[in-house]
């Protein structure tokens, strides 16, 4: 029979493994839901890919650097996913507006729209650091 510190050690590892597997399962399930086709036959991730493919020639080095700078507060682990989602939203806006190229305005609007409301304060801080006038974008933050 187990007793003493070894019992507590085993119980700690069992609880830790269950928690870690639950967290991993949660993120895998979210990824599955994003890949699941909608009514139109395409998933959210398919649409992101479509918008990126259709607008990749519109991106300039300056706009790519701006996007990279805006995404910098996102933790490294999630940065690639966030960058992809935001770039997809920017591409969607560019296609809907028939833009000739990706502008700073499109990057900022796409970033605000693609970002969850809970993260808007970090984005506002980053935009303030870059000395961007946020008055044209106030309606997007609400």
- Domain borders along the chain are 1-34, 44-140
Contact in structure between 119 and 135 (CB atoms under 8 Å): no
In the structure, what pLDDT confidence band is assigned to residue 1 with cuts at 50, 70 and 90?
A: low
User: What digits encode the pLDDT tens for the residues 86-125?
Assistant: 999 999 999 998 888 888 888 888 888 988 888 888 888 8
Contact in structure between 90 and 107 (CB atoms under 8 Å): yes
Mean pLDDT over residues 9-17, rounded? Answer: 94
3-class SS of residue 99? coil
Cα distance between residue 55 and residue 107, in whole Å = 13
pTM of the model: 0.74
pLDDT at residue number 47: 87
Mean pLDDT over residues 77-89, rounded? Answer: 89
Mean pLDDT over residues 51-69, rounded? Answer: 89
| DSSP result, 45-72 | HHHHHHHHHHHGGG--HHHHHHHHHHHT
88 CB-near residues (< 8 Å, 6+ apart): 47, 48, 49, 51, 52, 114
Mean pLDDT over residues 117-135, rounded? Answer: 84
């Amino acid at each position: 029979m187990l007793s003493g510190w070894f019992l507590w050690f085993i119980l700690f590892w069992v609880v830790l493994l269950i928690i870690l597997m639950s967290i991993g399962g949660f993120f895998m399930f979210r990824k599955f839901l994003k890949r699941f086709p909608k009514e139109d036959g395409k998933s959210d991730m398919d649409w992101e890919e479509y918008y990126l493919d259709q607008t990749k020639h519109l991106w300039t080095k300056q706009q790519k650097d701006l996007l990279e700078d805006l995404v910098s507060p996102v933790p490294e682990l999630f940065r690639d996913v966030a960058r992809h989602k935001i770039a997809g939203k920017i591409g969607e806006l560019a296609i809907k507006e028939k833009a000739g190229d990706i502008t700073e305005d499109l990057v900022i609007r796409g970033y605000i729209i693609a970002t969850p409301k809970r993260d808007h304060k970090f984005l506002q801080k980053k935009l303030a650091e870059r000395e961007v006038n946020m008055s044209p974008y106030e309606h997007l933050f609400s």
